[in-house]
C-alpha cells in the first residue's frame, strides 16, 4: 500500500516563487539545538531560509517552489533527533502578535517622548528656583507640548479606545480614569503655557503613559506567549489521519482536511484523530483517554470510535461521522460549555482593584476643586489643584503591580516545566486548597512499563526488546523502550493480533500473546498483577513472561506528601475500575478515592466541593476529565493529555515527574502574595501623595518623582517572584 503525506494544507506562498512552512519542534532548548537544526536544514539544496525561533519553539522554512516535499524537512529533523509537526497559525494568535507589536510601538514612541520632555523639564524645574527668564520657560514649555501632544495622541490609543468602548457600552474600566487624567493634564498644561504659568504637566502625562504601556505590554506579551504555547500543543498533537484516497492508496492528511463520510485507516499503535464507525476490520482499542478505563475494548464492524482512542492490535477502516453524531463527545462538549460559562464569571484581582479605584479618585478630585472654591480660591487655582490630584493618583504603580509579577512568575514556572494556558491561572491556582487527581495518565505515566524486567536475564530481555522494535503494538513499544533496544531484527515478521517472530542463529524467537509463544502454562502459574497486560517471549524452547502496565509517576508519592504538608486536601476521581484505583490510592496513601466515575459524576463532585467553599484544582488528562477541568476553580493537564483536556486546562505540565504540580502551586502562591503586596504599595503611595496633592503644593517635579519612584518600587518587588523554589518537600 502506498502512503503519501499531504502537507499542502500548511504550505503557503512566500514572495517570488518561494514556499513557506512553519513547523513546531519538540525539544529545542539551547544554542546547540538551534545551530544543529539550522545547519541541518540549510544543507538541503534549494532551501533558502531555515530559522529557529527559540521563544516559540518553531522553525520557519522557505524553499524554491516545486522542488521539495515538505515531508523531507520533518524526516531530516527526525534524523537530527527532533520531532517536528507542521503548524498552522491560528487567527487568534495572529491578532495577539499584532496587538503585542502595536503596544511595543506605542511604548517606543511614549518612551522617546518622555525622555525628551524630561530633558526640557529639568531646566525648567531648576530655572524656576534660579534665574530663568519667563520667555525661556515658555519656549521650553511649547517645545514640550510639541513633543508630548502628538506622542500622547499616538501612544495613548490603546487607552483611549478601550475607554471609549467602555463608555459607549455605558460601563467603566481602568482606562476611563487614565484617559481622563491624561487628557485633562495635557489640556490644562496647554492652557497654563498660553498664560505663561510656571508649571506645566506635559512630562507627568507622557511618563504616565509610558509606565502604563510597560504594564500593558508585559500583560499582552504573556497572553501572546500562552497563545503560542497553546498553538504548539495543538500542532504537537499530530492530528493527522490516514485517509483512503483510492482502493489501495492512502494519504496522511491533517484532520482539518477530513470531511464526514471519508474513510480513514487506523493502523495498530495509532491514535484515532476522528470520530466515526468501524466499517471493516477487527481490533482491540484503548479508550483510556476518553473514559479512563484501562481495559481494552473490542472493536469490530459497527463499533463507534472516538478521537483519542488508541488502536492496539489490528487495522481498522473507519467511516468518519460528524462530531455532533458522536453521543459521548456531544455529551462531553455540552458539559464543557456549561462549565466554561461558569468560570468566566471569575473576576481578576486587577479588575476588582480598578472597580474600586475610579469612583474614589474622581470623587476625591471633585471634592478637592469644590473644597478650594469654598475656601475662597479662584476657580482656576481650584481646577489646577484638582487636575494635580488626578495626575498624582493615576494608577501608574497599580497598572504595573500585577502584570510585572505575572510575567516574572510565568517565566519561573516555565523553567519548572509548567506552561500557562490562561492569563489569570496564577491567581486562581494560588487559591486552590483541594486537589482532585485523575488516575490514568495523571498519577500514572501515560505509557506502559515493564514491571518484572529484573526477573529476566539481561541478554534475553535485550533480544526481546530488539524483536519488539518490529511491532507497532504499544505493549511491544514499552518492551523495546525498557530494553533500550536500538537495532531491529531484520527478518522479523509481525502476525497481526498475535505477535512478532524471527529466526536468529537457528533459534526461533517469538514475542506476543502467551498462546502465540506457547507459554499459557506460565501465565496460569505466575501470580501476576491483575491490571497488567501479559506478553510472552520465547527463545527456542525457553519461555518468559513479561508483565506490562502503567506505572505510577516516579515522584508521585513525594508530591502527594508535599501537598499534604501544605495542608491541601487530596482525592482521586477515576473512571477506571475499583481494584485499579484502590491499588493506586493505597500506594500513594490517599484515603479518599472514587472509581468508575462518569464525566457528569466528576462535575457533580466538583460542584459539591465548590458549594462547601472549597477551591478545587483538578488535575486530569482524559477526554472524560475535560468538563470537570473546566468546572474546577483551576485545572492542570500533563502534556500527554487528550487535546480537548489540554485546551481546557489552565496549566499544562511537561515531562514524566508530577513535581510541577507542587512547584506551580508554590510559585503561584508566592506570586499572588507579591501581587497583593504590590497593590498595597501602590495604595500606600497614594495615601501619602494624595493629601499633598489636595493641599495644592504639588509641583510637576514632585509628581514626576512620586510616579517613577512608586513604579520602580513595584517593579523591583515583582522581581522577587523569580526565585520560585524548586524543592517540593
Partner 1 sequence: MEILVILVPLALMLGGAGLVAFLWSLRSGQYDDLDGAAWRAIADDEPPQEAPLKR
Active site positions, annotated = 438
Q: And the C-alpha cell for 118?
A: 524630561
Nearer to partner 1 among residue 207 and residue 492 (C-beta): 207
- Please name the residue ranges forming H helices in 377-495: 379-393, 396-415, 425-431, 458-468, 474-483
Nearer of residues 161 and 415 to partner 1, judged by Cβ: 415
* Strand arrangement of the beta sheet that strand 297-299 belongs to: 297-299, 283-286, 310-311
Residue 35 or 360 with smaller CB distance to partner 1: 35
Q: Which is nearer to partner 1, 109 or 511 (CB)?
A: 109
Which residue, 413, 399, 398, 426, is CA-closest to 217?
399
Size of the site for partner 1 (CB under 8 A): 24
3-state secondary structure at position 532: coil
Nearest approach, Cβ of residue 55 and partner 1 (Å): 5
39 interacts with partner 1 by CB under 8 A: yes
Shortest distance (Å) from residue 156 CB to partner 1:
16
> Which window, 5-13, 109-117, 238-246, 541-549, contacts partner 1 (CB under 8 A)?
109-117
Smallest distance, partner 1 to C-beta of residue 52, A? 6
Report the distance separating Cα 500 and Cα 516, nearest Å. 9
Q: Any contact of residue 400 with partner 1 (CB under 8 A)?
A: no
Range in contact with partner 1 (rule: CB under 8 A) among 110-118, 168-176, 379-387, 610-618: 110-118
Which segment (47-55, 68-76, 241-249, 304-312) binds partner 1 by CB under 8 A? Answer: 47-55
User: Binding of partner 1 at residue 96 (CB under 8 A)?
Assistant: no
Q: Which of 112, 154, 160, 296 binds partner 1 (CB under 8 A)?
A: 112
Sheet holding 263-266, edge to edge: 2-5, 249-254, 240-246, 263-266, 316-320, 276-281, 304-305
Please tell me whether residue 136 binds partner 1 under the rule CB under 8 A.
yes
Q: For partner 1, which residue of 15, 30, 130, 687 counts as binding (CB under 8 A)?
A: 30
11: which 3 cell numbers?
504550505
Q: How far is the CB of 721 from partner 1 (least distance, A)?
A: 19
Q: Which residues pair with 52 in a beta bridge?
A: 59
Is residue 130 within the footprint of partner 1 (CB under 8 A)? no
35 touches partner 1 (CB under 8 A): yes
Q: What whole-number distance in Å separates Cα of residue 167 and Cα of residue 170?
A: 5
| SS3 at position 270 | coil
Stretch that binds partner 1, among 29-37, 168-176, 397-405, 523-531 (CB under 8 A): 29-37
Q: How far apart are CA 172 and CA 176, in angstroms?
A: 6
104 binds partner 1 (CB under 8 A): yes
54 binds partner 1 (CB under 8 A): yes
Helix (H), strand (E), coil (C) string for 299-368: ECCCCEECCCCEECCCCEEEEECCHHHCHHHHHHHHHHHHHHHHHCCCCCHHHHHHHHHHHHHHHHHHHH
Closer of 116 and 663 to partner 1 (Cβ): 116
Q: Is 297 in the site for partner 1 (CB under 8 A)?
A: no
Q: How far apart are CA 544 and CA 537, in angstroms?
A: 5
> Does 101 sit near partner 1 (CB under 8 A)?
yes
Helices and strands in the chain: count of H runs, count of E runs: 24, 28
Cβ at position 678, least distance to partner 1 in Å = 24
CA dist 698 and 387 (Å) reads: 11
Q: Does 105 bind partner 1 (CB under 8 A)?
A: yes
Residue closer to partner 1, measured from CB, 143 or 166: 143
To partner 1, the closest distance from the beta carbon of 640 in angstroms equals 25
- The reply to whether 150 sits near partner 1 by the rule CB under 8 A is no
Residue 36 or 615 with smaller CB distance to partner 1: 36
Q: Does 168 bind partner 1 (CB under 8 A)?
A: no
From the list 54-62, 67-75, 266-274, 286-294, the region that binds partner 1 by CB under 8 A is: 54-62
Give the interface segment with partner 1, choosing from 53-61, 376-384, 447-455, 511-519 (CB under 8 A).
53-61
Q: Which stretch binds partner 1 (CB under 8 A): 26-34, 345-353, 569-577, 622-630?
A: 26-34
CB nearer to partner 1: give 148 or 590: 148
The three-state secondary structure class of 81 is: coil
Looking at beta carbons only, is 410 or 547 nearer to partner 1?
410
Binding residue for partner 1, selected from 18, 68, 99, 119, defined by CB under 8 A: 119
55 interacts with partner 1 by CB under 8 A:
yes
End-to-end CA distance of the chain: 54
The secondary structure of 581-644 as a DSSP string is HHHHHHHHT---EE-S--HHHHHHHHHHHHHTT--EEEE--SGGGHHHHHHSSEEEEETTS-HH
Task: State which H helix or E strand residue 77 sits in.
Answer: helix 71-80
Distance between CA 292 and CA 243 in Å, rounded?
28
Instruction: Between 260 and 417, name the residue whose CB sits nearer to partner 1.
Output: 417
Neighbour-count burial of 527, counting CB atoms closer than 10 A to its CB (0-12 exposed, 13-18 middle, 19+ buried): exposed
The cell for 518 is: 506457547
How far, in Å, are 38, 49, 85, 543 from residue 69 at the CA level? Answer: 18, 15, 14, 47
Burial 683-693 (b: 16+ CB within 10 A, else e): bebbeebbebb
**CA torsion through residues 298, 303, 305, 311, sign:** positive
Binding of partner 1 by 166 (CB under 8 A): no
- Residue ranges binding partner 1 (CB under 8 A): 30-31, 34-35, 39, 52-56, 101, 104-105, 108-109, 112, 115-116, 119-120, 136, 139, 143, 147
Amino acid at each position: 500500500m502506498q502512503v503519501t503525506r499531504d502537507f499542502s494544507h500548511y504550505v503557503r506562498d512566500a514572495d517570488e516563487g518561494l514556499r513557506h512552512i512553519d513547523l513546531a519542534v519538540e525539544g529545542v532548548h539551547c544554542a546547540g539545538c538551534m545551530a544543529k537544526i539550522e545547519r541541518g536544514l540549510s544543507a538541503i539544496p534549494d532551501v533558502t531560509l531555515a530559522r529557529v525561533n527559540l521563544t516559540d519553539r518553531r522553525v520557519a522554512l522557505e524553499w524554491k517552489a516545486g522542488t521539495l516535499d515538505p515531508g523531507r524537512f520533518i524526516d531530516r529533523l527526525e534524523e537530527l533527533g527532533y520531532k517536528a509537526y507542521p503548524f498552522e497559525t491560528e487567527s487568534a494568535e495572529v491578532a495577539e502578535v499584532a496587538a503585542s507589536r502595536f503596544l511595543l510601538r506605542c511604548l517606543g514612541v511614549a518612551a522617546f517622548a518622555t525622555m525628551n520632555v524630561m530633558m526640557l523639564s529639568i531646566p525648567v524645574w531648576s530655572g524656576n528656583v534660579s534665574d530663568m527668564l519667563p520667555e525661556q520657560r515658555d519656549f521650553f514649555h511649547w517645545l514640550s507640548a510639541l513633543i508630548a501632544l502628538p506622542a500622547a495622541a499616538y501612544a495613548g490609543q490603546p487607552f483611549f479606545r478601550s475607554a471609549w468602548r467602555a463608555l459607549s457600552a455605558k460601563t467603566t474600566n481602568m482606562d476611563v480614569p487614565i484617559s481622563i487624567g491624561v487628557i485633562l493634564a495635557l489640556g490644562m498644561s496647554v492652557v497654563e503655557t498660553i498664560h505663561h504659568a510656571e508649571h506645566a504637566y506635559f512630562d507627568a502625562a507622557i511618563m504616565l503613559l509610558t509606565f502604563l504601556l510597560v504594564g500593558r505590554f508585559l500583560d499582552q506579551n504573556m497572553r501572546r506567549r500562552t497563545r503560542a504555547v497553546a498553538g504548539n500543543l495543538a500542532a504537537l498533537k499530530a492530528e493527522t489521519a490516514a485517509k483512503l484516497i483510492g482502493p489501495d492508496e492512502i494519504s496522511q492528511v491533517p484532520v482539518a482536511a477530513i470531511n464526514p463520510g471519508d474513510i480513514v485507516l487506523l493502523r495498530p499503535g495509532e491514535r484515532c484523530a476522528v470520530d466515526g464507525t468501524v466499517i471493516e476490520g477487527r481490533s482491540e482499542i484503548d479508550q483510556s483517554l476518553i473514559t479512563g478505563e484501562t481495559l481494552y475494548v473490542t472493536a469490530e464492524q459497527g463499533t463507534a470510535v472516538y478521537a483519542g482512542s488508541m488502536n492496539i492490535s489490528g487495522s481498522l477502516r473507519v467511516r468518519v461521522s460528524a462530531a455532533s453524531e458522536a453521543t459521548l463527545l456531544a455529551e462531553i462538549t455540552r458539559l464543557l460549555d456549561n462549565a466554561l460559562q461558569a468560570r468566566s464569571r471569575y473576576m481578576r484581582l486587577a479588575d476588582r482593584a480598578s472597580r474600586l479605584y475610579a469612583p474614589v479618585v474622581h470623587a476625591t478630585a471633585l471634592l478637592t476643586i469644590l473644597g478650594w472654591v469654598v475656601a475662597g480660591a479662584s476657580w482656576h487655582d481650584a481646577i489646577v489643584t484638582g487636575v494635580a490630584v488626578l495626575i498624582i493618583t493615576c494608577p501608574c504603580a497599580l497598572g504595573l503591580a500585577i502584570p510585572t509579577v505575572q510575567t516574572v512568575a510565568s517565566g519561573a514556572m516555565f523553567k519548572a516545566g509548567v506552561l500557562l494556558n490562561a492569563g489569570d491561572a496564577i491567581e486562581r491556582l494560588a487559591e486552590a486548597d483541594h486537589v482532585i487527581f485523575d488516575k490514568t495518565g495523571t498519577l500514572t505515566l501515560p505509557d506502559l512499563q515493564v514491571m518484572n524486567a529484573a526477573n529476566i536475564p539481561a541478554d534475553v530481555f535485550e533480544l526481546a526488546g530488539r524483536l519488539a522494535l518490529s511491532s507497532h503494538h504499544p505493549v511491544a513499544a514499552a518492551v523495546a523502550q525498557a530494553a533500550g533496544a536500538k537495532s531491529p531484527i531484520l527478518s522479523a515478521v509481525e502476525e497481526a493480533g498475535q505477535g512478532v517472530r524471527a529466526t536468529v542463529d537457528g533459534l526461533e524467537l517469538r514475542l506476543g500473546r502467551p498462546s502465540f509463544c506457547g507459554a499459557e502454562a506460565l501465565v496460569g502459574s505466575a501470580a501476576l498483577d491483575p491490571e497488567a497486560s501479559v506478553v510472552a517471549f520465547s527463545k527456542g524452547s525457553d519461555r518468559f513472561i513479561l508483565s506490562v502496565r502503567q506505572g505510577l509517576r516516579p515522584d508521585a508519592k513525594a508530591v502527594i506528601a508535599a501537598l499534604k504538608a501544605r495542608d491541601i486536601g487530596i482525592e482521586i476521581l477515576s473512571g477506571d475500575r475499583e481494584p485499579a484505583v484502590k491499588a493506586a490510592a493505597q500506594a500513594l496513601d490517599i484515603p479518599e478515592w472514587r472509581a468508575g466515575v462518569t464525566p457528569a459524576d466528576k462535575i457533580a463532585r466538583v460542584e459539591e466541593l465548590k458549594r462547601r467553599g472549597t477551591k478545587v484544582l483538578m488535575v486530569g488528562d482524559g477526554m472524560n476529565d475535560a468538563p470537570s477541568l473546566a468546572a474546577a476553580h483551576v485545572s492542570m493537564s500533563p502534556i500527554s493529555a487528550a487535546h480537548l483536556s489540554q485546551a481546557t486546562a489552565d496549566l499544562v505540565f511537561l515531562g514524566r515527574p508530577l513535581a510541577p504540580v507542587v512547584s506551580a502551586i508554590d510559585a503561584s502562591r508566592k506570586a499572588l502574595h507579591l501581587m497583593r503586596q504590590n497593590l498595597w504599595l501602590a495604595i500606600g503611595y497614594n495615601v501619602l501623595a494624595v493629601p499633598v496633592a489636595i493641599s495644592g503644593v504639588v509641583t510637576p517635579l514632585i509628581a514626576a518623582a512620586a510616579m517613577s519612584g512608586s513604579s520602580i518600587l513595584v517593579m523591583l518587588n515583582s522581581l522577587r517572584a523569580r526565585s520560585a523554589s524548586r524543592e517540593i518537600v
